[in-house]
Amino acid sequence: MTQVPKLIAFDLDGTLWWPEMYMLDGGAPFRRDKSGAVFDKRNERIELMGASEEVLRELATHPKWADTEIAYVSRTEYPEWAIPCLKTFLVGSPEGQQGQGQGQGGRNLLDISSYQEIYPGSKITHFKKIHKDSGVAYQDMLFFDNEKWNCTECARLGIVCVYTPRGLTREAWDRGLADFATAQASRQ
């Protein structure tokens, strides 16, 4: 693939982490223990799913992605929990420890993003705001979501969407990059 997406967007609940914010009894504030594990105020653990940490670390540190922006697009009813949760997960350097946010000295998930559209409502609204603010064409965006109807809806804008029913796995990531490359090639 010679051309990478200018913007990669991720849903949060059920795509990047589990459990979903509405399932938590405690919510914010969140804390990270010495091992890098993240817990809510009632000590319920929130875990990054599948290849989420690996993919986000690569996006944050590999020169290939230097010109690609990251966005979080979530319809959560709990944005007041999602933002602090993003701040609690660290993305370490590739040489750092592997595992739940264990890379010491890394930036947090909020820091590596350029856009956060995290509030109830249609993801079409979320993406229209990102498009307006970023100037990135929809066809230059790649989006991962665990809800099929969100993918179907957003694909109508021209966004390459990847359905991730088991969260962001390596297979879903690779498929998304391949689908994006195919879509770009078909436009030339």
pLDDT above 90 covers a percentage of the chain that reads 86
Residue 101: what pLDDT? 43
Residue 91: what pLDDT? 87
Q: Give the count of alpha carbons within 13 A of 171, CB side only.
A: 5
Q: Which domains does the chain have, with CATH numbers?
A: 7-93+105-186 (3.40.50.1000)
Number of C-beta neighbours around residue 156 at 10 A: 10
Residue pair 16/168 in contact (Cβ under 8 Å)? The answer is yes
Dig out the tokens for 155 from the structure: 């694909």
161-188 pLDDT tens trace: 999 999 999 999 999 999 999 999 998 7
- Please determine, for residue 97, whether its predicted confidence score (pLDDT) is greater than 80: no
